[in-house]
Amino acid sequence: MKDNILNHNFNSGQFKGFSTGLIVLIFVAIIILSKAVLIVNAGERVVIFNSFTGVEEKTLGEGMHLLVPGIQNPIRYSVRTETYTMASDEGRNQRRADEALVCLTSDGQKISIDMSVRYNLIPAKVWQLHQKVGQYYEEKIIKPEVRSVVRNTIAEFPVLEVYSEKRNEIQQKIQNSLKETLKKYDINLSEVLIRNITFSREFAKAIEEKQVAFQEAERMKYVLQKENQEAQRKEIEAQGKALAIREVGSALKANPLLIQYEYVQKVTPGIKAIITDQASIMNFPADLLK
């Protein structure tokens, strides 16, 4: 009886030990399996660092992948379009932002530029970026290269060209140069946007005064043009009057009685003859009455 009880206790303890071991084994298997299965989400790419061989020369795309736990270690990267912004305090509404970029023009004027750079990692070459630069590529590559290219480009133009007609040309030149630079690091540049350019107070005041002077000059130009047109009008009017006078003179010379006729018409319109005194009657020629 006692032996049966001991056997029963032994069997129960053995079963409990086996159950506990099985649970631990299943738990470890789940952990290993979870590390062995990798899910790459939309807009992501994964680089694999192999503990024996280093960075593997491939990039894992979206979907499920199997890894060797403890040997193959995944590093995730976003390949979506990112925006790096440099802006003044009132314009810093982007997720990532630095202070506005201060530059010098070719004639030594200091300007401040608010701008955004839109870029994305080239999906198939993410492993190369990881090998050359690493995960902190924005601090190591994007930020310094943008600042360098922008400053070098602005230094080629005088402040008046930056202020007015060359702004689009400057933006395009920055974009072309920066695109080639980032391409070396397997980064694709989508767009450069110059959002605002702030000039020094002295330059802004000078431009304002120039604008006022220009507007005043345009107003005086309009006034002078109007006065010139008025003078031309009066000259034409005077010429017309002079011509009329000459024509009247010619008519009087040809018909001396015309002035008498005009006088009579003023007195009594439509009359063809008039008695000037008791002895004479003034008859007007038929051609004068036409």
**What pLDDT is stored for residue 147 in this prediction?**
94
Residue 68 DSSP class = -
State the pLDDT at residue 226: 74
Domain boundaries, the chain: 2-78, 82-199, 201-254, 255-290
Position 288 scores a pLDDT of: 47
What pLDDT is stored for residue 266 in this prediction? 60
Do residues 136 and 122 lie in contact, with contact meaning Cβ atoms separated by under 8 Å?
no
- Homologous superfamily assigned to 82-199: Band 7 domain (3.30.479.30)
CB atoms within 10 A of CB 170: 20
Give the pLDDT of the chain (290 residues) as one tens digit per residue: 545 544 545 455 555 555 676 676 676 556 666 678 889 999 999 999 999 999 999 999 999 998 888 898 999 999 999 999 988 765 445 544 578 889 999 988 888 999 999 999 999 999 999 999 999 999 999 999 999 999 999 999 988 888 877 888 999 999 999 999 999 999 999 999 998 888 877 776 766 566 545 555 656 666 667 777 777 777 777 777 767 667 666 765 666 655 665 655 565 555 555 545 545 445 545 554 45
Give phi and psi for 84, each to the nearest 5: -105, 125
If we measure between CA atoms, which residue out of 91, 216, 168, 166 comes closest to residue 208?
A: 216
In 3-state terms, what secondary structure has residue 271? coil
pTM of the predicted protein model: 0.61
DSSP 14: H
Taking a C-beta distance cutoff of 8 angstroms, is the pair 72, 109 a contact? no
Both tokens of 97, joined, read: 């932002």
Q: Where are the beta strands (DSSP E) in 109-240?
A: 110-121, 187-199
- Give the whole-angstrom CA distance, residue 227 versus residue 138: 64
What's the pLDDT at 256? Answer: 63
